[in-house]
Amino acid sequence: MICCSERYFLRNASPYQIWSRSFASENGDLVEAVVPFMGESVTDGTLANFLKKPGDRVEADEAIAQIETDKVTIDVSSPEAGVIEKFIASEGDTVTPGTKVAVISKSAAPSEAHVAPSEETSQKETPPPPPAEKPKVEAKSPKVESVKPQASKLASPSEPQLPPKERERRVSMPRLRKRIANRLKDSQNTFALLTTFNEVDMTNLMKLRTDYKDEFVKKHGVKLGLMSCFVKAAVSALQNQPIVNAVIDGDDIIYRDYIDVSVAVGTSKGLVVPVIRDTEGMNFADIEKGINSLAKKATEGALSIDEMAGGTFTISNGGVYGSLISTPIINPPQSAILGMHSIVQRPVVVDGSILARPMMYLALTYDHRLIDGREAVLFLRRIKDVVEDPRRLLLDI
């Protein structure tokens, strides 16, 4: 959890912005684009890719490169309008705030000299003579190569035939994926992970959405989804079982008197977990607006460090991908995570009759060092009761 002073610092990080801008514009006609301040807890990043090339015209504050950090992707912007003269850094380099990335000329016109169209056309015209000779050489090599595999097969008939290396691709792992991998493994190595399950009849909640979805959109300007109800149910359960909202710190237990819910969002670059803060004071509409805003930023890669820092409890909805059941892994340094899954029509017994009902499996993975089975089961039971009968939230029962 980021304290108030840290939040203020991140929102008012102008000293770093001023430093990076003045550092980049001390050379008269030539200015240098540098890596900006990347956040209080981020010290370096990887130059992922350039969005422009030498000779391109750029405007002031236009992004020319992207820096990939452990948490977010940050743009390197041009300090002035001009033409990119050259790049100083290369893709794949590890950079820190203040690292020079590109040199930009404020007065130069866009240059096309680097394109060299005449050289490209001449290269295209000269190849025709060699192709007539190359087929002769290529025709011989396959015959030689075809004999060797047969000899090797005769020598060792039991030797497994592996796919050729030409059919494999090796790429460097993105920093975000490395961060995810390390955190997941740290979670497994640190926590005494245990998962308990329950199932929820979604009939009443789905009827509630159907009955009030139009009025909800008309009044609040946002759709009523399932996540807001599960967040509200989780808040109620965390208030009933505060140990689930706590965390171990050395030889101490820290109880948090606030509830910041992290919502797992899958993106093309990996899983990110933005935080909805102070959910205990939010209504359904506030939660839906918060989720929609964070999900949109996550998809666009626009989440800030502050929006992903902290969090006391996580909800992951694998049901959007069709997952029927799973065992989610705790998001450190939290102590528990709730896993939602797909809604499936299943036969259940209701008042002695077998009926088809929309059912969802719930999974709660918790740190058994801190949370006993009793608290975990009661926590999940509370979520089940609230989701199956949302009126409990109004009556606080």
Q: Are the C-beta atoms of 273 and 265 separated by less than 8 Å?
A: yes
Q: Are the C-beta atoms of 113 and 32 separated by less than 8 Å?
A: no
Pick the closest to residue 67 from 83, 44, 84 (CA basis): 44
State how far the alpha carbon of 124 is from the alpha carbons of 115, 116, 135, 154, in Å. 15, 13, 18, 45
State how far the alpha carbon of 67 is from the alpha carbons of 15, 62, 202, 284, in Å. 20, 14, 43, 36
CA 79/CA 97 separation, integer angstroms: 15
- Confirm whether 368 is a catalytic residue: yes
CA 202/CA 360 separation, integer angstroms: 7
Sheet with 82-87, edge to edge strand ranges: 30-34, 100-105, 82-87, 57-58
- CA 286 to chain CA centroid, Å, is 22
Strand bridging mode 261-263 / 73-77:
unpaired
The 3-state DSSP class for residue 73 equals strand
CA 218/CA 228 separation, integer angstroms: 17
Q: Which residues contact 88 (CB under 8 A, 6 or more apart)?
A: 32, 100, 101, 102, 103
State how far the alpha carbon of 289 is from the alpha carbons of 235, 241, 295, in Å. 17, 27, 10
- Confirm whether 220 is a catalytic residue: no
Q: In this structure, what token pair is assigned to residue 23?
A: 């550092």
State how far the alpha carbon of 228 is from the alpha carbons of 41, 189, 205, 280, 283, in Å. 30, 32, 11, 12, 8
Active-site option among 372, 385, 389, 396: 372
Categorise residue 82: left if φ over 0, alpha if ψ from -120 to 50, beta otherwise: left
Active-site option among 44, 56, 286, 368: 368
Give the helix/strand (H/E) hosting 212: helix 203-220
Q: Are the C-beta atoms of 47 and 88 separated by less than 8 Å?
A: no
Catalytic residues: 368, 372
